[in-house]
Structure 1
Amino acid sequence: MTEKGLAENLILSYFTELNNKLGVTPGYLHTDQGGEFDSTTFQNALVSQGFSLERGPLHSPQTNGVAECFNQTLLTKISCLLAQYNIPICYWNEAPMHASFLFNHLPHKFLDMRSPNDILFGKKLTIQPVFSLTKIMPFGVKVLIKKEYPASKTNTTNQAMKALTFEPYSEALRFLDTATGKIKVSQDYAQVKSETSVMLWKNPSLLPTSKNQVNVLTIPLPTLTTFNSPILQVSDTSTNQDNQMVNPAGPSE
């Protein structure tokens, strides 16, 4: 979206897409007093489709607390993504796509370790293709892209670029050619290995769950010269009912 005037058509097209692909339709649209929602055409379109438009008072951002907090969180993520790998500000529109993709597809604690994409769409049809989290590349990381037409057999077939985000409605990724400033879409890429490797993803079995997990904690007590120092083991109640005192010297006779 290059200007605010496009917000009306994008909102209506998104509602239509939800209805066509998932059979769900929002009943209310809560906004502020922004001029992009003032047109008669937009308001008539909402009424004709059965939507109720709720608008908060002027200069009262607290009435849109959820949206304002989310926007602030998203802006913070965008700033961090651009600054981490020195992506020029002219490619600012690429960072929100990646930040929103991560937010929608990764699990959250307040959703009981489920993703917003899973909550909204479940196992039904999805608007976006089902992406594999193993293919997520860090924003701005250096990668090698296969050239489509090598100049000669002696020239290299790979070209260094920076990864940006997923191409919409595709499993291909978008890459920035720092030499020309152009965006390239490709599926043939390989991350450049470095000494400071980055964990791209975690195995789902290693993610925390909603239940509080109690791990075994071993706490060594200070060593005294007068007697053998015991070690206190604090275990989960499911394994040991009471705390046990263990003597390193072994059981006494």
Structure 2
Amino acid sequence: MPISPNQGSSGGGTLVTITGVNLAGATAVHFGTRLATITANTPTSVSVVSPSGSGAVGVTVTTAGGTSNPLPFYYIGAPFKQSLSPTVGPSAGGQTVTINGTGLYTATGVAFGADTAVPTVVSDGQITVLAPPGTAGTVSVSVTTAGGTNNGFSYTYVDAPTLTTVTPAQGPASGGTSVTLIGTALSSTGAVTFDGSPVPFTVINGNVVSVIAPPGTVGAVDVAVTTDGGAATVVGAFTYLAGPGI
């Protein structure tokens, strides 16, 4: 007499189907000592909503002909989340997010606001998931397992940056020129490069970043910014000039 599923939330509410023979007219289904709610019954099956409980219990079906042998059912507690990392990512989605906690082995879904992604279960204490695309802003993150759903974490989506203006657009090859980068979604800037080389920078606001041009080789170089939302590059945005000679 199979039972499916054979596990569910300790809070109850799991729809369970028991199949076998001579089940018509079932009068009671017990999970351990607790009575379940029968929702459907045929000669070969009984569907019930599990009561609350804990640990492993025996499930029995009672009809006018007697009580069946018990089948094991395992109660699973709601998951507990300890950490989520990283907590910020691009609105385009695709970032790998790691969630640590306990009771995660049966995780079937991770919701980022209204959007749900399917996790990869690493162990009972860890899952990973690719963040789905989202709108710039902070959303709640919840994990659903056979034991229930647990909330409590947040994830912040950041739009991809744009870089529209580099001014001034030229300076001496010896470096030292104060350069202003103008664009959008620059608040979380984590790196600025001239010709691929990182340079110190100061975030003025979401649209402005200030840098000091480093020494370089005569000619045009690319300028790039990297933020939590991605990267933006302007090809040949800054030109290094040769110094005068006499």
Report the TM-score range of the alignment, normalised by the length of the smaller protein.
under 0.3
Structure with greater helix percent: 1
TM-score by length of 1: 0.23
Q: Is the radius of gyration larger for structure 1 or structure 2?
A: 2
Structure with greater strand percent: 2
